[in-house]
Amino acid sequence: MTFADLLAQLVNGLANASTLFLLASGLSLIFGVTRVVNFAHGSLYMIGTYGAIWLAEHLGGSGLGFWSAVLMAACGVALLGALMELAVLKRIYGAPELFQLLATFAVVLVVKDVALMVWGPEDILGPRAPGLTGAVELAGQSIPEYDVLLIALGPLVLLALKLLLERTRWGVLIRAATEDREMVGALGVNQVWLFTSVFALGSGLAGLAGALQMPREPASLGLDLIAITDAFVVVVVGGLGSLGGAFLAALLIGIVKALCFALGTVELFGFTLNFSKLTLVVEFVLMALTLALRPWGFAGRPLRGLREAPGAIEHVRTPARRFWVIATAIAALLALLPAVADDYALVLATDCAIFALFAASLHFLMGPGGLTSFGHAAYFGVGAYAAGLLAKQAGASMLLALVAAPFAAAAFALVFGWFCVRLTGVYLAMLTLAFAQIVWSVAWQWDDVTGGSNGLVGVWPAPWAADKTHFYWLTIALCAGAIALLWRVMHAPFGYSLRAGRDANLRADAIGIDVKRVQWIAFPAAGAAAGLAGALYVYSKGSLAPDVMAISRSVDGLVMVLLGGVQTLTGPIVGAVLFTWLQDEILRRTEYWRLILGLAILGLVLLFPRGVVGSLRRVLRGGEA
């Protein structure tokens, strides 16, 4: 590595840091005021990039055209954000936080397919900025002029936002609402417009970030999730609600990534370390380290939780004996399915069973535990890779692989859980996401063992289970058994202790329950179940790739659980089956399955803000509170 290399990478890293900061500051502002974790923030960024490129093409290649495109894209995205707030989120501010999250997932799905419709599946390269295509000489190195502009823009935007927040009445209201939203409401401030305007501002920043990236990065349909994870990392490392913290965090991440690129491959004590391969994982390692050492990020403070309205907690009721009889009867009926279904339906039913177990395991943490995991796919993936590797590398039998996979997933969950339970709420969710992304990038990068992005192929069931019907029976038996086990534990003393920690932490402590320990134990229990689902998944498909534990799988799991209803026992199962079946059903008719699914979820969220099962139960009981 030469100094010139380092300098070049550093400039690139700092330029990235600027757009990262713009993106993250928008997310931070929105979260601070509305307490909505807006998963669609990355989608707004993506629209910013696509929109700017499209506008620039239509406005001509002049400097005026380029910069008008950037500004118009940012304003357009701001409008879009305001529209999303008005049409969707405003109606569900009273619903539990997780429902708002579900709604933003739905927006992610819708936006992705709309982008696919409008701009197609191919990556689109943006124009370069007229007048800024040259380079400046620095220490013998050419530095792109555009990068220099971006580097200057970051601090300028920070300054502008600071002035806005500190010198204007609107800014004072934003800061006050971030501090204590109920109090601001009690003082007679019109929160409706405050929320909408903050959404517009935050979205506009995301759009601006996306638009500014147009000469540096092609627009692609994967940008949304990449952007949202990057933004999460920056916001969490910097401290939720702190713009200065977000700026520092963006700089740090930009610089560390640049260092990894610049270092490249290094011989260290006889080992060859390829640092540039670490760029995928380094930001998540940084986030995990920050959260483990400073639980509220660089500049964050413990969040004041929203005061929960009385009766906001739905009850997981202890099922009557009848429940178990019905559940067993349904399982028995399912075993008869091969008599009437063709192979296609059997494969779909196998998928449904696997994802039902996956959703039930996530629900075990989220429902009784109140521990929202954004990275549950990690355990699914570890189980899948454990089974796949045992089969391919060690020649293990399917039975051994199916037994070992849950243990492997539980072992990872034990380690991750130990760190996670030290945090609460959004921070906990973000740390689970960080761990999942770390595991994912290891699987992606470690070609020699995991097969890298190609994954592993030819992981087939043992001969006795190779037949579709036999494999279906095996899956149903294992999944139903594991789900029943999870439900038993929920109603055993452990499950009650877990709920006690969620309902009233102090009270649980005062009756001798070590809440952190209980929550910690819940992680491997849920992890093992997810690991089993992952192992079954590998054998049902015959292959696996890193995307078994990509963030989109974690999101799928969350959608399944939330769609069904997080505080019901059977909700996640219904949600998983509905999700898997709908996805298949729609995919057979149109490639725009995300759009349909997203719209369906939005409709369901607005109609049934308590989840399908929860709302149905309410209706059946005749509107009982």
Partner 1 sequence: MTLLTIDHLEKHYGGVHAVAGVSFSVASGERVALIGPNGAGKTTCFNMIGGQIRPDAGRVLLGGEDITGAPPRALFRKGVGRTFQIATTFGSMTVRENVQLALLSHARRALRFLGEATDAAAEEARALLAAVGLETQATRPCDQLAYGDVKRLELAMALANAPRLLLMDEPTAGMAPRERHELMALVSDISAQRDLSVLFTEHDMDVVFGHADRIVVLDRGRLVAQGSQEEVRVDPEVKRIYLGESA
Q: Which helix (H) or strand (E) covers residue 548, if one does?
A: none
Per rule CB under 8 A, is residue 315 in the interface with partner 1?
yes
Residue closer to partner 1 (CB basis): 523 or 537 = 523
Residue closer to partner 1 (CB basis): 318 or 397 = 318
Other Cβ atoms within 10 Å of 492 Cβ, number: 11
Beta-bridge partner residues of 268: 271
Q: Tell the smallest beta-carbon distance from residue 251 to partner 1 (Å).
A: 33
Q: Tell the smallest beta-carbon distance from residue 417 to partner 1 (Å).
A: 15
Report d(CA 581, CA 587) in Å as an integer.
10
Residue closer to partner 1 (CB basis): 313 or 442 = 313
Q: How far is CA 196 from CA 81, 173, 193, 204, in A?
A: 8, 13, 5, 12
Per rule CB under 8 A, is residue 332 in the interface with partner 1?
no
Candidate segments 31-39, 208-216, 315-323, 426-434, binder of partner 1 by CB under 8 A: 315-323
Q: Tell the smallest beta-carbon distance from residue 506 to partner 1 (Å).
A: 6
Q: Tell the smallest beta-carbon distance from residue 513 to partner 1 (Å).
A: 5
The token duo for 326 is: 């019905």
* Subset of 216-255 contacting partner 1 (CB under 8 A): none
Q: Tell the smallest beta-carbon distance from residue 571 to partner 1 (Å).
A: 15
Q: Tell the smallest beta-carbon distance from residue 310 to partner 1 (Å).
A: 6
The token duo for 245 is: 């913290």
Q: Which helix (H) or strand (E) covers residue 136, if one does?
A: strand 135-138
Candidate segments 95-103, 120-128, 484-492, 541-549, binder of partner 1 by CB under 8 A: 484-492
Helix runs in 267-397, H state only: 279-293, 321-335, 343-366, 377-393
Among 518, 529, 544, 559, binds partner 1 (CB under 8 A): 518
The token duo for 209 is: 């970030």
Residue closer to partner 1 (CB basis): 139 or 325 = 325
Q: Which helix (H) or strand (E) covers residue 35, if one does?
A: none
Q: Provide the mask over 494-513, with x wherever binding to partner 1 is found by CB under 8 A and - wherever it is not.
A: xxxx-xx-xxx-xxxxxxxx
- With contact defined as beta carbons under 8 Å apart, do 601 and 559 qualify? yes
Residue closer to partner 1 (CB basis): 207 or 367 = 367
Q: Which residue in this structure is represented by tokens 């049934």?
A: 608
Q: Tell the smallest beta-carbon distance from residue 321 to partner 1 (Å).
A: 10
- With contact defined as beta carbons under 8 Å apart, do 380 and 530 qualify? yes
The token duo for 322 is: 């009848």
Q: Provide the mask over 550-589, with x wherever binding to partner 1 is found by CB under 8 A and - wherever it is not.
A: -----------------x----------------------
SS3 569: coil
Q: Which of 502, 478, 346 is nearest to 428 (CA)?
A: 502
Residue closer to partner 1 (CB basis): 122 or 514 = 514
Helix runs in 213-342, H state only: 223-238, 243-263, 279-293, 321-335
- With contact defined as beta carbons under 8 Å apart, do 225 and 375 qualify? no
Among 168, 190, 318, 590, binds partner 1 (CB under 8 A): 318
Candidate segments 24-32, 64-72, 150-158, 314-322, binder of partner 1 by CB under 8 A: 314-322
Per rule CB under 8 A, is residue 361 in the interface with partner 1?
no
The token duo for 28 is: 């931070």
Residue closer to partner 1 (CB basis): 83 or 485 = 485
Count of alpha carbons within 13 angstroms of residue 17, beta-carbon side: 28
Count of alpha carbons within 13 angstroms of residue 336, beta-carbon side: 5
Q: Is 372 left (phi over 0), alpha (psi -120 to 50) or beta?
A: beta
Q: Tell the smallest beta-carbon distance from residue 500 to partner 1 (Å).
A: 5
Among 188, 270, 311, 395, binds partner 1 (CB under 8 A): 311
Q: Tell the smallest beta-carbon distance from residue 51 to partner 1 (Å).
A: 45
Q: How many chain residues are in contact with partner 1, going by CB under 8 A? A: 35
Residue closer to partner 1 (CB basis): 301 or 517 = 517
Among 156, 492, 542, 603, binds partner 1 (CB under 8 A): 492
The crossing angle, in degrees rounded to 10, of helices 145-167 and 243-263 is 160
Among 7, 303, 313, 348, binds partner 1 (CB under 8 A): 313
Report d(CA 612, CA 619) in Å as an integer.
10
In the complex, which residues of this chain contact partner 1 (CB under 8 A)? 310-311, 313-316, 318, 488-489, 491-497, 499-500, 502-504, 506-514, 517-518, 521, 525, 567
